[in-house]
Structure 1
Amino acid sequence: MSNHEDDVVSALKRGADGYLLKDMEPEDLLKALHQAAAGQMVLSETLTPILAASLRENRPSADRDIQQLTPRERDILKLIAQGLPNKLIARRLTITESTVKVHVKHLLKKMKLKSRVEAAVWVLQGKNG
């Protein structure tokens, strides 16, 4: 895999739920693979600045007002930012996994975000008000 900005951003815009670099320590790679297998978002730490720069350049956050989300969508967005997969979000909120998927689809559309990873980065950067 490449750590070139265009490759990372392109993969995530196309819906990838994570991106790992081949120069990771074996223990970190194994941990990340287990997380990915459990449905969690995985991202090499060195990619955070690349994603942050891309989001600042390409995605005006003025259109993103967290208040346009329903309370349930806000709850789900926070749990996505914690790296939880849909199944665990459903359990935590005592709703079905398919209901979580619908909420995720709606919140991504409302916030003009392309993926769960982009949503998580946006929340973690504190752009959510």
Structure 2
Amino acid sequence: MKILIVDDDPLVCQSLQVLLSREKDMEVIETVNNGAEAIGYCQHTIPDVVLMDIRMPVMDGTQATRQIKQDWPQIRVMMLTTFQDEQSIRLAILAGAEGYLIKSTEVSGMAQQLRTLVAGTSVLDGEVLKRLMQPEKEEIQQLTPREKDIAELVVQGLSNREIAEQLFISEGTVRNNLSIILEKLQLRDRTQLAIYYWRRI
């Protein structure tokens, strides 16, 4: 198993590299310090698993995960972080991460979770993963399919420009739809929209 470690703390990178390399079936092929470097590395070498921190300079783990899963869907992404807050977990899963571990996890347990991930099984319960990725339909039934698509991308942290590029529509269309979404749900701004979704998933 080839592992790429992404963390802005050199000590964390070094420690994980030493500990995981002791596992006979694991090889840490590189350590990098932010999401942009992770994407750059994947352009010439494809790891089996990326161990990804969430909060990093230049590009955070959520943004990097979204890009990696879009360009190389075969790569498995395991978030490894000290942050256990609900928002961080939900955004990571929405970005495409298949697993979420806390840095205090014992290495033996982490190694087993990585094996499970590479075998094709999420480290999260299937129903939990499903609920994290898709709000209950009855809560958003008043939105059109296009409005739902835009709302979900807003919740994932994409800008109007990024949403427009992904959905092949204009930024003006995104802005107009977002105004309609906020009016329908009686919300004030993008932050309230995100909170609305998090409470329903």
Q: Which structure: greater helix fraction?
A: 1
Q: Which structure: greater strand fraction?
A: 2
TM-score, normalising length: structure 1: 0.49
Higher normalized contact order (CA 8 Å, seq sep 6+, divided by chain length): 1
The structure number with the bigger radius of gyration is 2
